[in-house]
Amino acid sequence: MLNLTTNYKARSTELPGLFRDVFAASEGEEEGRAVGALVQDLLNTTPDDDLLGVLALESSALAACVLFSRLSYDQDPRQVFLMSPVAVRTDRQKSGIGQKLISFGLEELRLQGIDFAVTYGDPAYYEKTGFQQITETFAQPPMPLSMPHGWLGQSLTGAETPIEGPSHCVNAFNKPALW
């Protein structure tokens, strides 16, 4: 039975390893180490109000995790969160867990009054959970994008108007190589 929870802190020591293993299997050891280090940095340096983690547990075993961190736009009153990274254990991929996890996380953000969510990744995958390609003028990313076609967003309130001004990410994402 799949249990979705926002109590990520209870399993925080396991999360960097989950991300490292998943990304190493799909993208190589170097990428696995980089994403594991990013997750450790997110957990260690991001204020609680600026981070939401959602876990998928199967019989108390960690199956997947998605992290959401605040993206601040000083010229726009709306609250925006960046969904990244997402990891589903390799033996549980293609079972629908990732989509359920993301949908649950987006609903949690909606319940917390967050207005908009963005992510940076594969449009073919993330469009399944309501994300759509957006331009850098619609919502300016905090750093130049190496793959602008992967800049995706979705309104959590129904308002589809551009987000004003430059953005600032949490410290862990404040590295050009991640973008």
pLDDT at position 48: 96
For the cut 90, the answer to whether the pLDDT of residue 101 exceeds it is yes
How remote is the C-alpha of 166 from its chain's centroid?
Answer: 19
Instruction: Quickly list DSSP for 45-85.
Output: HS-GGGEEEEEEEETTEEEEEEEEEEEEETT--S-EEEEEE
Tokens for 106, please give them: 């987006």
The angle subtended at Cα 83 by Cα 85 and Cα 164, nearest 5°, is: 140
For 127-158, write each residue's pLDDT tens digit: 999 999 999 999 999 999 999 999 999 999 99
**pTM of the predicted model as reported, rounded to 2 decimal places:** 0.96
Q: Out of 3.50.30.30, 3.40.50.12280, 3.40.630.30, 1.20.58.220, which CATH number does the structure's domain 2-178 have?
A: 3.40.630.30
Averaged confidence pLDDT in the chain:
96
Cα–Cα nearest to 43, from 20, 81, 13: 13
Determine what percent of the chain is predicted with pLDDT higher than 70. 100
pLDDT at position 91: 95
- Our separate counts of H helices and E strands in the chain read 4, 8
pLDDT at position 1: 86
